[in-house]
Amino acid sequence: MQSIRGRQMSYVKSCRSRALSAAPAVARGNAARSPRHRVVSASLSRRPEDDGLGGKLLMNSVDDEASNALATGIAKFKPISRKSLRMGLPSKGRMAEDTMDLLKDCALSVYKPNPRQYVARIPQIPGLEVWFQRASDVVRKLRYGDIDLGIVGTDMFAELTDGDPDLVVCHEALGFGQCHLGLGIPMAGKFADINNVEQLRDMPDWTPETPLRVVTGYHNIARRFFMQHGFKHVVLLSADGALEAAPAMGSADIILDLVSTGVTLRENNLKEIEGGNILESQGILVANRKSLLGRPELLEIVHELIERFDGHLKAEQYYSVIANMRGESPEQVADLLLQAPGLQGLQGPTICNVYNRSPDAQNAKQHFYAATICVRKKQLYSAVKALQKLGGSGVLVQPMTYIFDEEPERWTKLLISLGLDPANYDGNGNGNSSGAAH
C-alpha cells in the first residue's frame, strides 16, 4: 500500500506538472514560440484572488481581449432585499484616514463605539449605515448592490468597474489622496535613453520569447493601456508590495504603480517617462445607479453630501479677511477695494460702519469702515499688504468652514446623468411627482 508521504509527493509532482504545462513561455532565452501579440498575466506571489483561478496563470491575448470581456464581468444577480441605506468606506490605510478627516471637517463624524466593528453610523444622517471595507471591496459591493454609495480612489474605481453602467460618480474630486498611476522605468542600462512610451514600445528587446515584464496591481488598467499604445509582447506580473525593487532584482523590467511625490521611484533608481502618466487619482464619491433611482431617500443623502463636500472644499481655499478702512463713505471704500487686484472677494466686499467713542467720551463717533473680503490662501500676504497700502489697519484673518453657493453644479449634472429633470427637484434634493426617470 502506498504510504501517505508517497501519495503526497505524487500529488505535488502532478500539480507541478500541470502548472508548468499551463504557464506561458516567458522565460528569457526560451526557444519555444509563444502565441502572437499576447498580454499575459502571471504572478510573482500569490494573492487571495488567485485562489479562484485554481492556481493557473491567466493568459489573455490582445486579439481575444474584446471577446473575453463579458466573461470577466461580475455576474448580475438580485441583491438581498433590505430597508437600510448603506455607505461603504475604506477600512485601512491613508485613504481611510483622509476619508474620516473629510467627514469630520464636514460635521459628519462617524460614530463607531467599538473599533473592531465593521458597521457604524453618522448621527447627522439617520437611516444610513456605514460599512468599513477594503477599498476594492467597496467597489465590488457597489456592483453587487450590497451597498448603495461609497468613497474610494479613482484608481480602484477604474480598475474594478470595467465600464459598469450601474456605477455613477457623484463627486470626482474630494481633495485627498492625490496621486497618479504611472510607469516606473530603470534609469540606467538599456533604459537609460528611453524617455517616452513610444521609445519603450519600439525597443527591439520585446519579442514573444522575451516580452516586456511589467509588475503591477492594476492589471485591467495595464491591459487597456498597453493595448491602446500598440505594445505587442507584454507580460503582467503581480506582487504584494515593494514593486520598486522588482526591476533591480531582475524579476520585472518596469513597474506600473501609484506615484505621489516620485521620491520612492528615484530612491530605487527608477524614472517616469513622457506618456507614462496613465491616470490621475484622488478620493471620489460613487453610488449605485439603481439605488439612486429606486431609493429617493438615498438621492436626498447624496445631495446633502455633495453640498457639504463642495461647501467645505471651496472654503478650504480661502481666508476671511476683515480690515478697518478710512474713507468718506462705504461706497468710496468699496471702490478702492474693487479697483485693487485680489481684493474683490467672491462677489465684492462687504462694508459696514465702525464706531468708537468721541474725544468727550459721550457719544459714539464714526472713524472707520470695516471691510470684509474672502482671499485665496495663496494670495493672503499680498492681499494684506495691499490693504495696508490703501490705509487698512487692524487686519483680522480667520479660517472658513463652508462657502455654500447656489445649487451645486455637480448635483445638477448627476440628476441629468440619471435621466432626471433638475427643475423637478427642490433645494433639499426632493423630487415631485413629475420628477420620475425618463
Q: What angle do CA 324, 326, 328 make, to 5 degrees?
A: 135
Domain 85-177+282-314 in CATH 3.40.50.2300: no
Q: Which helix (H) or strand (E) holds 56?
A: none
pLDDT (mean) for 372-385: 94
Answer yes or no: same fold for 180-278 and 319-399.
no
pLDDT of residue 9: 44
Least confident residue range of 6-10, 190-194, 352-356, 430-434: 6-10
Q: Is the pLDDT of residue 354 over 90?
A: no
> What does the alpha-carbon distance between residue 119 and residue 129 come to, in Å, rounded to a whole number?
7
> pTM surpassing 0.75?
yes
Q: Is the pLDDT of residue 54 over 80?
A: no
Q: What angle do CA 405, 411, 417 make, to 5 degrees?
A: 155
Secondary structure class of 316 (helix, strand, coil): coil
Secondary structure class of 425 (helix, strand, coil): strand
Instruction: Classify 180-278 by CATH class.
Output: alpha beta
Contacting residues for 101 by C-beta, under 8 A, at least 6 apart? 176
Domain 319-399 in CATH 3.30.70.120: yes
pLDDT (mean) for 292-319: 95
Q: What is the DSSP string of 192-203?
A: TT--BHHHHHT-
Distances in Å between the Cα of 290 and the Cα atoms of 125, 154, 418 are: 21, 21, 9
Please check whether residue 284 is in contact with residue 151, taking contact to mean a CB–CB distance below 8 angstroms: yes
Res. 428 pLDDT band, cuts 50 70 90: low
**Average pLDDT, rounded, for the chain:** 82
pLDDT of residue 352: 92
pLDDT (mean) for 78-104: 90
Q: Is the pLDDT of residue 417 over 80?
A: yes
Q: Which helix (H) or strand (E) holds 19?
A: helix 4-22
Q: Which helix (H) or strand (E) holds 283?
A: strand 283-288
Please report, for the chain, the start and end positions of each structural domain, with discontinuous segments joined by +. 85-177+282-314, 180-278, 319-399
pLDDT (mean) for 185-195: 96
E strand segments, 35-76:
38-41, 59-61
> What does the alpha-carbon distance between residue 28 and residue 88 come to, in Å, rounded to a whole number?
44
N- to C-terminal Cα separation, the chain: 72
pLDDT of residue 145: 92
pLDDT tens-digit readout, 19-45: 333 344 444 444 343 444 455 555 444
Q: Where are the alpha helices (DSSP H) in 348-408?
A: 380-389
